[in-house]
């Protein structure tokens, strides 16, 4: 395993990536600028070509082909990421997540003093 010990598994990579996508969606503005929409679209689309799990990337490309990202508001994006994640869950035999609960699961961000929220869409509690 080398000097630092642990290898990154497909599962760990997946959990970290979903954390990024759901957290990003939870902080995405209700009224995004064109630049923000473009960046979010690029980030999501990039996973189909450079996500470091070939099978996952290929699979995600299919997910996007059937259901392109919805980037017009924070609510839409959070729901879209939830559905995309559920599509993956279904295909690998994981439980389906109730998308009504996505905000309760991912809406809170804690890196102190609200420092990591994008535009205060979710004020720190
Ligand atoms: P994860 O699925 O990683 O979820 C983490 C947490 O998110 C869960 O504990 C739950 O609290 C919450 N959650 C679960 N579902 C939802 C949802 N729909 N909405 C909101 N929150 C939710 N693995 C493969 O084996 N084959 C693949 O083809 C594959 N493709 C992938 C494609 C992408 C783009 C990504 C990011 C990951 C992919 N993975 C794939 C990895 C897989 O999705 C899981 O991340 C991994 O198996 C670890 O699963 P987990 O049980 O820890 O929970």
* Domain architecture of the chain: domains with CATH: 10-106 (1.20.120.310)
- Segment (H or E) for 27: helix 10-27
Q: Give me the tens of pLDDT residue by residue for the chain, a chain 125 residues long.
A: 567 888 999 999 999 999 999 999 999 999 999 999 999 999 999 999 999 999 999 999 999 999 999 999 999 999 999 999 999 999 999 999 999 999 999 998 887 766 677 765 555 44
Whether the pTM exceeds 0.90: the reply is yes
The span from the CA of 33 to the CA of 42, in Å, is 14
Please report which helix (H) or strand (E) contains residue 82, including its range: helix 74-91
Mutate to test the pocket of ligand 1, among 85, 100, 103, 106 (most ligand atoms within 8 A of CB): 85
**CA neighbor of 24 nearest in space, from 124, 125, 122, 90:** 122
Secondary structure of residue 30 in the 3-state scheme: coil
Q: Confirm or reject: Cβ of 105 under 6 Å from ligand 1.
A: yes
Q: Distance, CA 87 to ligand 1 centroid (Å)?
A: 10
Closest ligand 1 atom to Cα of 18: 36
């Amino acid at each position: 395993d080398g000097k630092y010990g642990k290898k990154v598994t497909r599962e760990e990579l997946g959990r970290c990536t979903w954390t990024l996508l759901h957290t990003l969606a939870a902080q995405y503005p209700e009224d995004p600028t064109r630049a923000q929409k473009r960046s979010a679209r690029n980030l999501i689309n990039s996973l189909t070509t450079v996500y470091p799990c070939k099978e996952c990337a290929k699979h995600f490309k299919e997910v996007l082909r059937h259901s392109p990202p919805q980037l017009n508001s924070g609510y839409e994006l959070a729901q879209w990421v939830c559905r995309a994640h559920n599509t993956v869950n279904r295909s690998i035999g994981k439980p389906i997540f109730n998308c009504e609960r996505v905000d309760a699961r991912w809406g809170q961000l804690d890196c102190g003093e609200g420092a990591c929220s994008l535009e205060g869409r979710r004020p720190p509690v």
